[in-house]
């Protein structure tokens, strides 16, 4: 058995042992997300527009992660709508910044990997960079939206008569509880993955100026920042979506 | 007088985020005009002329266009400040390794003095302004929307960033020989400091710290056991990028750091909710605490694993596309570009899941009392 298969099966066993059906769903959503990511990549290789493919993949991935993650139907619906809104805002932000910073493709640090490779590709790597940035934030958006919506749903369950204004304040309070730890999840997730690059910088004695203008580093830091902004934006948007949905529900009664 | 002080105090409380936003905007403006700080000559591109655009193809039938452009600009710093230059630049339209430049951009130059004439080639694009702008935007959003909790989140990220850089330098001084010890040890310091900033020093923080360190350690131990049992088949260390030292310990150090944040996030959530539950229902039994914790954990583990999965695997996309366009099979492309990211996600995932019983166990032991814990075991 290969290591990846063994680790995957072990994860399945752990998830089911700890979370039961919910664990199984979480494992399936991970598998599905891998499939979606790989499929998106193959479509890009066949010259479908990377940004368009990413947007469609992104919405499907958000739906799968959110609906397979939560169990309260109203709060998952709200989380899904809010996360799609965040995704669209993020795309609008990412496109001009990536055009500005031009971090697409490979840097001089990558030359070893590129040896013997043809770089005549016919795919706009600027669009690939935009897609990469969008894809890397999907998990963070889904997680934050679920956390806020679930937190608010619980408050609504305990205090069904809470005023809409207090509900909104509660949303920001839940947000302030998750923001510190979520930022660190993102920070360590990204910087842990790029430890080797930082060791390279230190070993070759890059100057501060070289580091702050380096293609790979700037690209990486931009991805962390996009993820952080998406989490920040998720807090008010999910709260407002929840308030709006509650207002609708109360009108009906 | 006391009232006056109070008013300034509340005024300050209300407006400080906006003050930071304005100061930050000034700083970004400064970065956009910081050319004098660089020793490398900088050229501001004033006009761009396309000279030619030819079709190119390779042995895999990929087609691209090769564009030649002539850039006119003026040097903005150093001894040659004010001198006008003409530079030719050739790039492929896909821009994977070469770049096309636009009017208004600034680029770093390698200048060659040849008798009295100077000629130059472009070494890099100046990206510091774009970086500073995005940092400013993020910090502004964070402080204006989240205020104090935003400031704390920012502080913890900055503290961790500084520590991270110190650890990297230390690793370089030791030639990478003890990379695992450095980053394993630092993971503990990272966790302790972050939790101090986010929670403050109390029993809850100590419990969370214990769960975080335990969860991360279990993940690595399980991973090493699986590695040993499967003889690391399908783990291609040679596909690691930017490697300047022994890859295996480096990979493990990366995995420790990568999982640490998520495991910490999760233990914080579970233990904070359980503490709140205990305050609400003081007579709750250890068994009930454990059960509630498991339910909370079950809800957040799926989304958390996906956060790390997208971070680890999405960034392999550009290289994976390059492999596919060079007529490599899907399987080989996966092995050489994505497999390590997937292994990292799976190890972190196992850590995230196993942290749930650990955090619940610690909490019910600490606040449920030993007697009620004994009842659970029976």
Could you list the mean pLDDT of each consecutive 10-residue stretch along chain A, which spans 253 residues?
94 95 93 96 95 96 87 84 96 96 92 88 95 96 93 89 92 91 92 89 92 95 96 96 93 82
Q: Is B189 on the interface with A (CB under 8 A)?
A: no
Length, in residues, of chain B: 378
Whether residue B370 is predicted with pLDDT greater than 60 in this model: the reply is no
Any idea where the domains of chain A sit in the sequence?
Answer: 39-252
Structure tokens belonging to residue A52? 């368009």
Candidates B32, B30, B26; CA nearest to B129 is B32
Whether residue B367 is predicted with pLDDT greater than 90 in this model: the reply is no
Scanning B209-238 for CB atoms below 8 A from A yields: 222-223, 226-227, 229-230, 232-235
Is B158 inside any structural domain? no
Any residues with CB less than 8 A from the CB of A13 and at least 6 apart, and which? none
Mean pLDDT (chain B) is 91
The reply to whether B181 and B115 lie within a common domain is no
State residue A4's pLDDT score: 96
State residue A202's pLDDT score: 92
B191 falls in which pLDDT band (50, 70, 90)?
A: very high
The reply to whether B28 and B106 lie within a common domain is no
Mark out the alpha helices in B39-178 (DSSP H runs).
Answer: 128-173
Cα–Cα distance, A200 to A205 (Å, whole number) = 8
Q: Is the dihedral of CA A127, A128, A129, A131 positive or negative?
A: positive
The reply to whether B363 and B263 lie within a common domain is yes
Is B133 inside any structural domain? no
State the average pLDDT over residues B254-282: 92
State residue B198's pLDDT score: 87
Cα–Cα distance, A189 to A139 (Å, whole number) = 12
CB within 8 Å: B137 and A229: yes
Q: Are the beta carbons of B284 and B277 closer than 8 angstroms?
A: yes
The reply to whether B196 and B230 lie within a common domain is yes
- The torsion angle over the Cα atoms of residues B103, B106, B107 and B112, rounded to 10 degrees, is 90
Task: Name chain A contacts of B141, Cβ cutoff 8 Å.
Answer: 229, 232-233
Task: Name chain A contacts of B35, Cβ cutoff 8 Å.
Answer: none
CA A88 vs CA A85, A108, A140, B165, B342: distances in Å: 5, 32, 14, 34, 27
The pLDDT > 70 percentage for chain B reads 95
Cα–Cα distance, B167 to B161 (Å, whole number) = 10
Instruction: Tell which phi-psi region holds residue B242, choosing left (phi > 0), alpha (psi between -120 and 50) or beta.
Output: left
B7 falls in which pLDDT band (50, 70, 90)?
A: low
The secondary structure of B92-124 as a DSSP string is ETT-SSS----TT-EEEEEEEEETTEEEEEEEE
Lowest mean pLDDT among A108-117, A141-150, B301-310, B340-349: A108-117
ipTM score assigned to the predicted complex: 0.95
B283 falls in which pLDDT band (50, 70, 90)?
A: confident
Q: In what order do the strands lie in the sheet with B106-114?
A: B84-92, B63-75, B42-57, B106-114, B117-125
CB within 8 Å: A199 and B133: no
For the beta carbon of residue B91, count every other beta carbon within 10 angstroms: 17
Could you tell me the CATH number of the domain that includes residue B90? 2.40.50
DSSP, collapsed to helix, strand or coil, labels residue B328 as coil
The reply to whether B224 and B266 lie within a common domain is yes
The reply to whether B60 and B32 lie within a common domain is no
Residue from A104, A135, A184 whose CB has the most chain B CBs within 10 Å, to mutate: A184
DSSP, collapsed to helix, strand or coil, labels residue B67 as strand
B369 falls in which pLDDT band (50, 70, 90)?
A: low
The reply to whether B89 and B183 lie within a common domain is no
B374 falls in which pLDDT band (50, 70, 90)?
A: very low
The reply to whether B205 and B326 lie within a common domain is yes
The reply to whether B312 and B180 lie within a common domain is yes
Q: Are the beta carbons of A176 and B149 closer than 8 angstroms?
A: yes
State the average pLDDT over residues B178-201: 92
The pLDDT > 90 percentage for chain B reads 77
Q: Is A218 on the interface with B (CB under 8 A)?
A: yes
Task: Name chain B contacts of A200, Cβ cutoff 8 Å.
Answer: 242, 244
State residue B305's pLDDT score: 94
Residue from B211, B275, B318 whose CB has the most chain A CBs within 10 Å, to mutate: B318
B133-139: list long-range contacts, CB under 8 Å, 24+ apart.
Answer: B133/A97, B133/A100, B133/B28, B134/A97, B134/A101, B134/A221, B134/A222, B134/A225, B134/A226, B135/A221, B135/A225, B136/B21, B136/B24, B136/B25, B136/B27, B136/B28, B137/A225, B137/A229, B138/A225, B138/A228, B138/A229, B138/A232, B139/B20, B139/B24
Lowest mean pLDDT among A132-141, B54-63, B115-124: B115-124
Eight-class DSSP state of B35: G
The reply to whether B50 and B63 lie within a common domain is yes
Fold entry, domain A39-252: Multidrug efflux transporter AcrB transmembrane fold (1.20.1640)
Mark out the alpha helices in A70-163 (DSSP H runs).
Answer: 73-101, 111-114, 125-158
Task: Name chain B contacts of A15, Cβ cutoff 8 Å.
Answer: 301-302, 349, 353
Structure tokens belonging to residue B184? 């394993």
State residue A28's pLDDT score: 95
Eight-class DSSP state of B337: I
Candidates A243, A38, A61, A229; CA nearest to A142 is A61
Range of the domain at B28: 2-36
The reply to whether B296 and B183 lie within a common domain is yes
Cα–Cα distance, B28 to B134 (Å, whole number) = 9
| Backbone φ, ψ for residue B73 (5° rounding) | -160, 180
Could you tell me the CATH number of the domain that includes residue B306? 1.20.1640
Is B153 inside any structural domain? no
Structure tokens belonging to residue B12? 């300050």
What is the count of structural domains for chain B? Answer: 3
For B315, the closest of A41, A136, A196 (CB atoms) is A136
């Amino acid at each position: 058995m290969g290591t990846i298969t063994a680790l995957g099966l072990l994860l399945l066993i752990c998830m089911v042992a700890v979370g039961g059906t919910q664990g199984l769903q979480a494992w399936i959503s991970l598998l599905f997300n891998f499939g979606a990511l790989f499929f998106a990549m193959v479509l890009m290789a066949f010259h479908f527009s990377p940004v368009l493919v990413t947007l469609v993949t992104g919405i499907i991935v958000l739906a799968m992660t959110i609906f397979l993650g939560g169990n309260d139907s109203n709060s998952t619906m709200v989380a899904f709508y809010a996360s799609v809104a965040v995704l669209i805002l993020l795309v609008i932000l990412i496109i001009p910044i990536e055009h500005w910073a031009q971090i697409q493709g490979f840097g001089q640090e990558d030359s070893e990997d590129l040896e013997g490779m043809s770089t005549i590709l016919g795919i706009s790597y600027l669009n690939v960079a935009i897609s990469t940035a969008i894809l890397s934030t999907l998990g963070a958006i889904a997680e934050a939206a679920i956390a806020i919506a679930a937190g608010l749903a619980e408050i609504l369950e305990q205090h069904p008569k809470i005023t809409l204004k207090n509900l909104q304040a509660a949303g920001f309070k839940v947000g302030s509880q998750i923001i510190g730890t979520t930022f660190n999840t993102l920070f360590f997730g990204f910087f842990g993955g790029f430890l080797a690059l930082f060791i390279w910088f230190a070993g070759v004695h890059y100057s501060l100026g070289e580091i702050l203008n380096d293609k790979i580093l700037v690209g990486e830091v931009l991805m962390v920042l996009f993820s952080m902004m998406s989490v920040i934006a998720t807090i008010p948007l999910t709260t407002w979506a929840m308030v709006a949905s509650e207002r609708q529900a109360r009108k009906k009664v | 007088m006391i009232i006056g002080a109070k008013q300034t105090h509340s005024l300050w409380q209300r407006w400080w985020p906006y003050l930071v936003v304005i100061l930050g905007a000034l700083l970004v403006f400064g970065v956009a005009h910081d050319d004098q700080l660089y020793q490398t000559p900088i050229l501001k591109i004033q006009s761009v002329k396309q000279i030619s655009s030819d079709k190119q193809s390779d042995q895999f039938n990929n087609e691209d266009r090769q564009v030649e452009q002539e850039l006119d600009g003026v040097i903005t710093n150093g001894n040659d400040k004010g001198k006008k230059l003409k530079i030719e630049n050739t790039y492929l339209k896909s821009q994977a390794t070469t770049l096309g430049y636009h009017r208004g951009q600034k680029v770093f130059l390698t200048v060659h003095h040849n008798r009295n004439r100077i000629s130059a080639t472009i070494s890099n694009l100046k990206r510091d302004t774009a970086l500073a702008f995005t940092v400013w935007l993020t910090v502004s959003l964070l402080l204006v929307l989240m205020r104090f909790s935003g400031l704390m989140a920012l502080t913890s990220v900055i503290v961790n960033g500084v520590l991270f850089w110190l650890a990297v330098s230390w690793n370089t001084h030791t030639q990478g020989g003890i990379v695992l010890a450095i980053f394993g040890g630092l993971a503990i310091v990272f966790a302790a400091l972050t939790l101090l900033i986010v929670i403050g020093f109390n029993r809850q923080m100590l419990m969370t710290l214990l769960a975080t360190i335990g969860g991360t350690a279990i993940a690595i131990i399980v991973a090493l056991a699986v590695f040993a049992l499967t003889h690391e088949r399908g783990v291609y260390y040679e596909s690691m990028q930017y490697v300047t030292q022994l890859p295996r310990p480096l990979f493990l150090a990366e995995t420790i750091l990568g999982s640490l944040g998520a495991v910490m996030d999760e233990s914080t959530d579970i233990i904070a909710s359980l503490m709140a539950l205990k305050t609400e229902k003081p007579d709750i039994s250890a068994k009930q605490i454990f059960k509630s914790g498991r339910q909370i954990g079950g809800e957040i583990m799926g989304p958390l694993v996906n956060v790390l999965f997208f971070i680890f695997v999405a960034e392999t996309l550009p290289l994976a596309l390059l492999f596919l366009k060079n007529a490599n099979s899907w399987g080989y492309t996966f092995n050489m570009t994505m497999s390590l990211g997937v292994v990292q996600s799976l190890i972190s995932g196992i850590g995230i899941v196993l942290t749930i019983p650990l955090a619940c166990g610690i909490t019910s032991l600490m606040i449920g009392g030993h007697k009620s814990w004994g009842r659970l075991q029976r």
